[in-house]
Chain A
């Protein structure tokens, strides 16, 4: 897995710091455009808060719609980063090197974006101050002895997400220290002082490097169980509810986690393709990396498909009227059945069909299509879990209704995509999205083995 040509440190610095030391022409225009979309979405949220939930399509019995779908979607995307980075670091996969940082930063911003969704969804976001958002575990009214109820998944959820967010931010920052030192050495004035502070006096002696390498592995090992817990707990927001029969399924936790990995890794692959195209990083993000991600995705997608099948089979297994009603709604009622077919097609059969071909895996246009397809599908998956379940919630059929999102919801959801893109671009302006030292380490360890007439790429390994 080493197809690229050897690179010198100077070249690596020059090419990977290009985005920071010289702003591309399109940068401010793009940021302004994305900023305007975000502002527009914030305006829509403002209207909703001012007017009330009546401006959305949410109504009894479907009180969770686009916002919660989007929340789960972004939490899912956030799983790519650390999962990919952690698994690949732990397995010492050589092709991880250019992919880890962008993946980790995508984690941070998608988590932040995800958390705006339940906040907006409350309708009165400021009241969450009384809950546990700003001051963790401080009771909202302890004069009356009322404490947060840790028995509800709605409290487990923020505790997990904030653990993950804090850990991911710290993980990214620690790994950035050596790269901040490179920037410190290449900037002047105020930038130099800021990068100097962020680099904390990094020198690059063997002790610091040893700790940095161990930190990567140790933090990966520690964050991995957190990442698994986060989406599991998000799934339990649904799975603990007995009243919505299709949600109360024991498989929800791993099913959600694998789905999150599926959508997240696809998103990372797409982001890497974009970075390669936008910043001209052909020497770093190579076809072999995208190919490896696609092969990983075949396994992840197939695992996900297995969980999907289990979820559906055991949905019917119980032969309980209220659950059959939901399944009937999902599979037999138009347009839900059409959405269901599209969802399975674009999440599994289309992308996996593409990924089975080596030439398709190495065609970046086709790969982009496959990765976007997965994410459209995974967004639909969450929607098709949430809405049909609620629409056919109980045996009291007088309450059965459906859901149609309003323009306000569309705008807010669209705004979240603009927000993540904008934040990623802003970070790309101040910190390298490909870890410089990881690439340089790869160059140091790169070697070859000669077998007969063939020269095989090889690496030096300490363990």
Chain B
């Protein structure tokens, strides 16, 4: 059976956390519900699942790529245009360090940005169930449940203190 989303809106974080507890008690897997907020709450504030990521790999890979490109670029341009200047060797390492450093950092940062977007699963072309009141301070508890569980979940969210419950099928109300 396909899972459908249902979104409960809460005025206080305490109630949203209560909803989380109730969902857990009702046997809804933690991967099936999420807390949508307009600001970063400390990790674990809602008793939510721990999110793992591999963001830290991105800058390292980026730095390695940038380092390689930087070394090749600076070495090859010097070799390709062998003009001696000020008694410096044709293949001069110290100036290579400068440009290579910049290329390393640039690529590390660009890769990090890519990593942030990738790990955040952005851009999300289909936004899914959402309510604009979330960016007004309401806390959304987004639950994916089997179709036949929509109504019990709605009741559960309402009992936990939801001021409104939004459903994909147009159903709404607390």
Residues on A with C-beta less than 8 A from B106 are 162-163, 166-167, 226
0/1 string, A440-452, CB within 8 A of B gives 1: 1101110000000
Interface presence of B98 (CB below 8 A): yes
A167 to B42, CA, bound (A): 27
Residues on B with C-beta less than 8 A from A185 are 132, 134-136
Residues on B with C-beta less than 8 A from A203 are 34, 36, 124, 127-128, 130, 134, 142
Interface presence of B148 (CB below 8 A): no
Within 8 A of B (CB), among A243-292: none
Interface presence of A54 (CB below 8 A): no
Q: Is there an interface contact between A226 and B109, defined as CB atoms closer than 8 Å? A: yes
Given A9-B38, A9-B137, the answer on whether A215 and B116 have CB atoms closer than 8 Å is yes
Interface size on B, residues (CB 8 A): 63
Q: Is there an interface contact between A218 and B55, defined as CB atoms closer than 8 Å? A: yes
Q: Which of A98-106, A122-130, A142-150, A370-378 makes up part of the contact surface?
A: A142-150
0/1 string, B32-53, CB within 8 A of A gives 1: 0011111111110010110101
Interface presence of A151 (CB below 8 A): yes
Q: Which of B21-29, B80-88, B153-161, B165-173 makes up part of the contact surface?
A: B80-88
Within 8 A of B (CB), among A162-182: 162-163, 166-167, 170-171, 174, 177-178, 181-182
Given A156-B98, A201-B125, the answer on whether A437 and B38 have CB atoms closer than 8 Å is yes
Least distance between A297 CB and chain B CB atoms (Å): 27
Interface presence of A462 (CB below 8 A): yes
Q: Is there an interface contact between B59 and A222, defined as CB atoms closer than 8 Å? A: yes
Residues on B with C-beta less than 8 A from A10 are 136-137
Q: Is there an interface contact between B98 and A204, defined as CB atoms closer than 8 Å? A: no
Least distance between B174 CB and chain A CB atoms (Å): 19
Interface presence of A114 (CB below 8 A): no
Given A148-B77, A186-B135, the answer on whether A214 and B55 have CB atoms closer than 8 Å is yes
0/1 string, B100-132, CB within 8 A of A gives 1: 011101101110110011011111111110101
A204 to B55, CA, bound (A): 18
Interface presence of A200 (CB below 8 A): yes
Residues on A with C-beta less than 8 A from B122 are 177, 200-202, 208
Interface presence of B73 (CB below 8 A): yes
A177 to B101, CA, bound (A): 29
Question: Looking across the interface, which residue of chain A has its beta carbon closest to that of B44?
Answer: A462
Residues on B with C-beta less than 8 A from A225 are 105
Interface size on A, residues (CB 8 A): 64
Q: Is there an interface contact between A212 and B102, defined as CB atoms closer than 8 Å? A: no
Interface presence of B99 (CB below 8 A): yes
Given A226-B102, A444-B41, the answer on whether A211 and B95 have CB atoms closer than 8 Å is no
Residue from B36, B56, B98 within 8 A of A205 (CB atoms): B36
Residue from A160, A167, A210 within 8 A of B43 (CB atoms): A210
Residues on B with C-beta less than 8 A from A178 are 38
Pick the most buried of B36, B38, B46: most chain A CB atoms within 10 A of its CB.
B38
Given A151-B92, A211-B55, A222-B59, the answer on whether A441 and B73 have CB atoms closer than 8 Å is no
Interface presence of A229 (CB below 8 A): yes
Residues on B with C-beta less than 8 A from A208 are 120-122
Residue from A150, A160, A163, A212 within 8 A of B95 (CB atoms): A150
Q: Is there an interface contact between A207 and B137, defined as CB atoms closer than 8 Å? A: no
A215 to B37, CA, bound (A): 18
Residues on B with C-beta less than 8 A from A2 are none
Question: Looking across the interface, which residue of chain B has its beta carbon closest to that of A200?
Answer: B123
Residues on A with C-beta less than 8 A from B119 are 207, 211
Least distance between A199 CB and chain B CB atoms (Å): 9
Interface presence of A8 (CB below 8 A): yes
Q: Is there an interface contact between B88 and A440, defined as CB atoms closer than 8 Å? A: no
Interface presence of B74 (CB below 8 A): yes
Interface presence of A159 (CB below 8 A): yes
Given A218-B112, A219-B109, the answer on whether A210 and B53 have CB atoms closer than 8 Å is yes
Question: Looking across the interface, which residue of chain B has its beta carbon closest to that of A202?
Answer: B122
Residues on B with C-beta less than 8 A from A26 are none
Q: Is there an interface contact between B124 and A167, defined as CB atoms closer than 8 Å? A: no
Residues on A with C-beta less than 8 A from B137 are 8-10, 440
Least distance between A459 CB and chain B CB atoms (Å): 10
A205 to B41, CA, bound (A): 10
Q: Is there an interface contact between A211 and B116, defined as CB atoms closer than 8 Å? A: yes
Least distance between B129 CB and chain A CB atoms (Å): 9
A441 to B112, CA, bound (A): 23
A201 to B126, CA, bound (A): 7
Pick the most buried of A171, A436, A440, A460: most chain B CB atoms within 10 A of its CB.
A440
Residues on A with C-beta less than 8 A from B80 are 145, 147
Residue from B96, B105, B120, B140 within 8 A of A163 (CB atoms): B105
A174 to B142, CA, bound (A): 24
Residues on A with C-beta less than 8 A from B130 are 203
Given A201-B123, A212-B120, the answer on whether A206 and B43 have CB atoms closer than 8 Å is yes
Q: Is there an interface contact between A210 and B51, defined as CB atoms closer than 8 Å? A: yes
Q: Is there an interface contact between B116 and A207, defined as CB atoms closer than 8 Å? A: no
Interface presence of A62 (CB below 8 A): no
Residues on B with C-beta less than 8 A from A440 are 38-39, 137
Q: Is there an interface contact between A210 and B77, defined as CB atoms closer than 8 Å? A: no
Of the A-B pairs whose beta carbons lie under 8 Å apart in the complex, a sample of 16, sorted by A's number, is: A9-B38, A9-B135, A139-B81, A149-B83, A159-B99, A163-B103, A163-B109, A186-B135, A203-B128, A204-B135, A206-B41, A206-B46, A208-B121, A209-B40, A211-B119, A441-B40
Given contacts A149-B85, A219-B109, A437-B39, 16 further A-B contacts (CB under 8 A): A13-B135, A147-B77, A150-B77, A151-B88, A163-B102, A170-B113, A182-B38, A201-B127, A202-B124, A205-B35, A207-B119, A208-B121, A223-B109, A437-B40, A441-B40, A444-B41
Q: Which 4 A-B pairs have the closest CB atoms?
A: A9-B137, A201-B124, A440-B39, A200-B123
